[in-house]
Structure 1
Amino acid sequence: MNYEIVTLPAFRAVGLKWEGIFSEIVPNLKEVIQQTEDRADELKYKVNPSVQLGLSYHVVENGFAHYAVYEVSDEQEIPDGMIEIRVPEWTYVKTTHHKGKDIHKTYADLHQWLFDSDYTALREAGVDYYDPYMPIKHEYCPVDRDPSDPHFDIYIPIIKK
């Protein structure tokens, strides 16, 4: 696996939010992701229309909040039923989950890299997270991915240990 340290500027994103526990992921989360994709044409000011973002925050016990969104410019209004999320400038470790590989292994390898590195996962002040290792996970998913065998970039916000 390749790991790269990158700093991304703050951005604004609009789409749909799902919040729940792990046992509710199928089919609920997949439906929200698909609904966001189906409604993408309502977002006229997408910064990168070929990439849907999956922003996960482990703020739910035994689960997480997930934002299925597209990065948008400030001109974008929020369509009915959608939400906005603003992500600050953060430094991330970036890696890629490749098609045909085991997603659990990709994340296990990333966890090991974090453990062995000079970095630890960022935890926002004043926020209670239930995942001690990777409380925030951002996935950049090509819209033309195969849902049954996806490939995507993973960004984990980090700070120096």
Structure 2
Amino acid sequence: MSEATRYIVVFRGVGGKTQLPVARLRAVLEADGFHGVKTYINSGNAVLTSTLDEAALARRVAELVRAKMGFDKSVLVRSLAEWDAMIAQNPFPEAVDEPTKLHVFTLEQEPEAERVEALREKATGTDRFAVRGRALYLHTPDGMGNSRFAPKIETTLKVPMTARNWRTMLALRDLAAAIA
């Protein structure tokens, strides 16, 4: 039997009219045999341990929430080690003091270089971004709600993704690290 890995599971498209009730999510994941399941706020975040690899875990969780909860959107998964690396590779350390203005997009796959270059050409105003593997970092000094650049990211890169602010990144890391 493989050793269990701690994972962070983030769901795309939660918020507004699309809800993913966390108590029900925890129950569904626990009933399927996942251990250490915890959720963080109502925006589609969970941590757990599993012997599955990342891709198999993403497929399994997506199947479960589709079948048991009627939620049919992308599920992105990172090991705690990769999540820690995403935090460590933050290219905007000066922005951590304003954690709601620093965002990390978890990408389903690394974007093509020409797509990143096309995105770079659209980066105007005060927003700054950097791509590190399967993560995109976005610093929005004027706030995400005021960003004219942020809505262009996914349509330009053409990669499924979901973003979390720096506070949520750290909270999810801490939750996953605390799994016994």
State TM-score, norm by structure 2. Answer: 0.31
Higher strand share: 1
Larger radius of gyration: 2
TM-score by length of 1: 0.33
